[in-house]
Structure 1
C-alpha cells in the first residue's frame, strides 16, 4: 500500500514546499490523484505564484488561449549584467462558450473577465482550474450600447467586482456586479460624469483605470474607480498627452503610461511614482527602436509594457501582437518569438496571477469545466 507522506507533514511546511513549485508543476501535481487534489484545495489560498502571460485569440468559436510562464532572475543569484529572457509555454486550451467574434478582457489576480464585443456574453474564468461561468446582463441593458467592462479585487474586503461602464459621454449611471451576489447595482459617475471611457482598464492600487476624454473641454485624462468605495476620480496624464495613443500598465505597483514617439523613433514609458500625484509623473525609459529588425515595421499605434524585471529589463507588446524585450544593460530592443502567429485583429495578451481558486467558492451554480 502506498503511503501519502504529506498526511504526516505540518500544513505550514506543506504550504512552503508547494509554494516553491512552478505553476506548471502545480497544475500537474493537482491532477495526480484525489488526495493530492484535496491537498491543493486546502492550501491554495496560501500558495503564491509568479505572474504569467496569457495570449487569447478568437477564431469564430471558441476562444483559444496560450499560457506562457516568464522567469525572473532571483536578485540574490542573478548576474544583473547578463540577464536573458527565459519563458516556457505552459499550455494551449480553448473555452467552448456560445459567443462568437471578437472578445475583450482583463484580469484580477487568477480570474479573467471576458466579454463579447459583438454579441451578448460576459464570462468569468480561471484558466488554471479550467472553469468558467456566464454572468447575466443588467436589467436596463440596451442592445448595441458601447460598453467598457472592468474587473478588480479589493485588498480590504477581498471582493471581486465587475464594473459596467456606459462608455459614451453622458451615458450615466454605471453598474457594479460583486461576485457571489448574483445582481448588478447602479453606481453614480460622480467626478467621471460626462466623459468618454476608452480602451481596456488597468488595475493598480485597488483602482481600475481608464483613459477618458472630456468632449466639453477637449481634454484627455485618467479616470480611477476605487474597487472598495466604488467612487470615481479624475487625474492627469503626463504632459503632453497628445492624441490619446497612450497605453496604461502597472510596473512594480506603479501606474505607467507608454507610447511610441515617431518623431524620435523611440518608445517612452512614464511612471507615476506617487499614486494620484500629478507632479510625480517621471520618464522612466526612452528606448530607441532603431535596433529592431526592419521587418517589424514602425509607427506603432499601441505600446503595452507587460513586465518590468528585477534588473530593469522590460517585456512589451507592440500593436497587440509583436513581443519585444528591452535590455537595460545594452539599451537595445529585440523581438522575441513567444507569440507565434499572433494577429492583432484576432486577440491580444495580458498578465495574470495564476492560482487554484475555484469559481464554485463564489456560489456560482453554473460553473462549467473545460
Structure 2
C-alpha cells in the first residue's frame, strides 16, 4: 500500500492547502489527527487564514427553550434568503449579542440581578464566563470589549458612571482591576451602553451630545473629540461601527437617514458624510422612533441594516428600494453583530475556564 501523500508533504505546503478550504471543512480537518490539529491551531496559520476571510453576520435568535445563533457569510452578491448559515449552535442561556471584536462575541445575560457576560468564539464553539462581574445592572453604566493595539490583550471594561472603571484582561483567571479614576462618561447615559471598538479604542456618545468619549485599551486613558456637525433638527443619533470605521448615524428628518464616517482615525478624526439614504414610507411608516442600525456597506453603495423588532433590510443604492431579509427563522427581537471569523482557541487564554458546546 502506498503511503498517504499528504502526510509526506512539508507542513508549509499542507498549511497552504488548508488555507484554500472553507471554514466547515477546516473544522472537520481538526478532528482527523493530532498533527493537523496542531497545525490548524498554530498562531501563524490562524492569523494568515483570518486575514483572507470576509466579514460575517452573527445573529442570535431568541427561540424557546434555547437561544439559537446563526452565522452568515457576507458577500458582495448578498442573498441571505438563499444562504445556508456558515455555522450555528444553540446557546443554553437567555443571551443577546452585545459586542464583537476580532472574531469573538460578547453575549450578555440579564436574567438575574447581577448580569453575566460570556466571551464566545462561534467558530471553535468555545465560551468563557466572566465570573463575578463587580457591579449590578444599573442605568448609567457603560461597557466595552476589544483588543489592545500593541500588547494584543483582550480586555472587558466596565465604567462606573464617572467614578471609576473596572478592567478584566482575558487570561488572568477571573481577576478584575478597579481603577479609581474619574471618567468623562456620566450617568447621563441612563441605559446600559456598549462602547464601539475602532483602532484599539472604545467609543461612547451621550444622548443629545455631539462629543465622543474614547478609551484606549492599551494605555487605559480617556480622551474626547467632536462628533459630526448637527443636521438641522436631527434626532435618534447613534454611534456605531461600519466596516473598520467609526460611524455616526442619525435621521435628519422622518424621511432621511445620514451616515457619517471617520475614515482616517489615526491621523485626523474628521467626519465625512458618506451616505444619505431615503427612508421608505411603506417600510418605516414615517415613524420618528424607528430604530435603524447600518450593519454593512457594500462596494456598490448597498447597505444591510437592522431595524425595529430585529427586522433586517437590504437597501439597494441603484433602485433606492428596500428588501426584507428572512433568516430561516422568523423571529422578533433578534440581536446581531458583524465580525470576521477566527479559529483562535479560547484555550490559549491561560487560567481561564473554557467550556465547549
TM-score between the two structures when normalised by the length of structure 1: 0.81
**CA shift for structure 1 position 320:** 5.7
1:91 and 2:87 aligned: yes
> Residues 349 and 39 of structure 1: is their aligned pair in 2 closer, same or farther, counting only changes over 3 Å?
same
- The 8 Å contact of residues 237 and 278 in structure 1, kept in 2 or not, is answered as no
CA distance in 1, matches of 2:119, 2:109: 12
Which structure 2 residues correspond to residues 234-313 of structure 1 after superposition, within 5 A?
234-240=224-230, 245-263=236-254, 265-275=255-265, 280-290=270-280, 294=282, 297-299=285-287, 301-313=290-302
CA distance in 2, matches of 1:240, 1:349: 28
> Residues 320 and 348 of structure 1: is their aligned pair in 2 closer, same or farther, counting only changes over 3 Å?
farther
1:101-135: CA deviations, max 9, x gaps? x5452111121122223423221111111111211
> Residues 61 and 227 of structure 1: is their aligned pair in 2 closer, same or farther, counting only changes over 3 Å?
farther
> Residues 335 and 29 of structure 1: is their aligned pair in 2 closer, same or farther, counting only changes over 3 Å?
same
CA distance in 1, matches of 2:101, 2:311: 24
1:55 alignment counterpart = 59
CA distance in 2, matches of 1:190, 1:107: 26
**CA shift for structure 1 position 85:** 4.1
Which residue, out of 324, 337, 341, partners 1:350? 337
- The 8 Å contact of residues 106 and 151 in structure 1, kept in 2 or not, is answered as yes
2:353 alignment counterpart = 366
What SS does structure 2 have at the residue aligned with 1:273?
A: strand
TM-score between the two structures when normalised by the length of structure 2: 0.83
What SS does structure 2 have at the residue aligned with 1:312?
A: coil
> Residues 212 and 7 of structure 1: is their aligned pair in 2 closer, same or farther, counting only changes over 3 Å?
farther
1:154 and 2:156 aligned: no
1:77 alignment counterpart = none
Which residue, out of 101, 107, 117, partners 2:100? 107
**CA shift for structure 1 position 209:** 1.3
> Residues 276 and 360 of structure 1: is their aligned pair in 2 closer, same or farther, counting only changes over 3 Å?
closer
CA distance in 2, matches of 1:53, 1:2: 44
Which structure 2 residues correspond to residues 1-370 of structure 1 after superposition, within 5 A?
3-42=3-42, 43-48=45-50, 49-59=53-63, 62-72=66-76, 83=77, 85=79, 87-97=83-93, 100=94, 103-119=96-112, 120-138=115-133, 141-146=134-139, 147-166=141-160, 168=161, 170=162, 172-182=163-173, 183-190=175-182, 192=184, 194=186, 196-197=188-189, 199-213=193-207, 219-240=209-230, 245-263=236-254, 265-275=255-265, 280-290=270-280, 294=282, 297-299=285-287, 301-319=290-308, 321-338=310-327, 340-344=329-333, 347-370=334-357
> Residues 90 and 2 of structure 1: is their aligned pair in 2 closer, same or farther, counting only changes over 3 Å?
farther
Gaps of 5+ in 2: none
Number of matched pairs:
343
**CA shift for structure 1 position 65:** 0.8
CA distance in 1, matches of 2:26, 2:238: 33
Gaps of 5+ in 1: 73-82
What SS does structure 1 have at the residue aligned with 2:7?
A: helix
What SS does structure 1 have at the residue aligned with 2:21?
A: coil
